[in-house]
Amino acid sequence: MGPSVPEAPSDLPIISEETDESFASDRFLQVRNSRLSGGPESIYFGNIKVWGYGTGNGPWVMADLENGLFSGVNPGYNAGNPTVSHRYLTAIVKGEPNHWSIRAGNAQSGNLSTYYNGARPNAAGYNPMKKEGAIILGIGGDNSNGSAGTFYEGVMTSGYPTDATENAVQANIVAAGYK
């Protein structure tokens, strides 16, 4: 694990399958074993409402930024974050200084949708981010193990890709023909 990297742009796309409607969560995290708010920038896919949630009963794509799940600028409810019902999901969380986005879509057909695009969360410790440089899968930055579901592919990139680049990646994912 390397030293903390202050707010370096990054992108974390994943492909996941929902296998348990009562709790489906895959976390692909960039983090160390830490409880530092703003330490990781990671994808959360699940239906827990403790820290944040969207419309319907979930599951939702949110960002796990440690000590909270976020789907927008404010902690808690985000009306722009829909319940996801795709069997195979493409999910993306990307961030750069004082700006981040959540994008997702059906990995079997169609385009990505933007669920949030704007300023970092309006909560102490999340702007600037304090990314810590590691990758973990299926557990939280505090080593908690509350995830379920099937993770298929993921990538962590440097920089803040354009939506056009991510749309081209989504087209390739759809062309792969997940069944």
- The set of catalytic residues is 66, 142
Neighbours of 12 (CB within 10 A): 22
CA 56 to chain centre: 18
Amino acid occupying residue 179: K
Rounded Cα–Cα distance for residues 173 and 127 (Å): 32
Strands 113-118 and 99-106: antiparallel
In sign, the C-alpha dihedral spanning 125, 128, 129, 130 is negative
Three-class secondary structure of residue 163 per DSSP:
helix
Establish whether the linkage from the previous residue to 59 is cis, with ω within 30° of 0. Answer: yes
Kindly give, in sequence order, each residue whose CB lies less than 8 Å from that of residue 32, ignoring residues fewer than 6 positions away: 1, 39, 132, 133, 134, 141
